[in-house]
């Protein structure tokens, strides 16, 4: 029987572009969670920023929250998932 679960190296991709972008914009994890209209947690945002693999669904929730937060600040920006996460296939 083979185990198809990703190994530690496959799950850890190092700091992600979303982390750099949030640092540049001065955004905290809590602001993203508060802006989300979907169920997004601080833990999910932290994992995503640090490079732990998160599902496409969580990536999309983070992208939507970021776009909404920036829109609320008067800055209309749209992102592709591969701009925020370097392991998107």
pLDDT digits (tens, 9 = 90+) for 6-45: 555 577 888 999 999 999 999 999 999 999 999 999 999 9
State the pLDDT at residue 88.
77
Whether the per-residue pLDDT at 4 is higher than 80: the answer is no
- Distance CA(24)–CA(21), nearest Å, equals 5
- Distance CA(43)–CA(89), nearest Å, equals 23
**Residue pLDDT, tens place only, 73-88:** 999 999 999 999 998 7
Confidence (pTM):
0.85
* Phi, psi of 12, deg, nearest 5: -105, 115
Residue whose structure tokens are 């979303």: 18
State the pLDDT at residue 78.
97
**Residue pLDDT, tens place only, 46-64:** 999 999 999 999 999 999 9
């Amino acid at each position: 029987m083979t185990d198809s679960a990703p190994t530690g190296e496959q799950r850890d991709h190092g700091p992600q572009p979303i982390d750099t972008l949030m640092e540049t914009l001065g955004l905290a994890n809590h602001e993203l969670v508060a802006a989300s209209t979907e169920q997004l947690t601080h833990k999910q945002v932290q994992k995503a920023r640090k490079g732990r693999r998160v599902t496409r669904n969580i990536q999309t929730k983070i992208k939507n929250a970021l776009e909404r937060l920036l829109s609320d600040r008067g800055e209309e920006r749209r992102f592709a998932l591969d701009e925020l996460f370097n392991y998107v296939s």
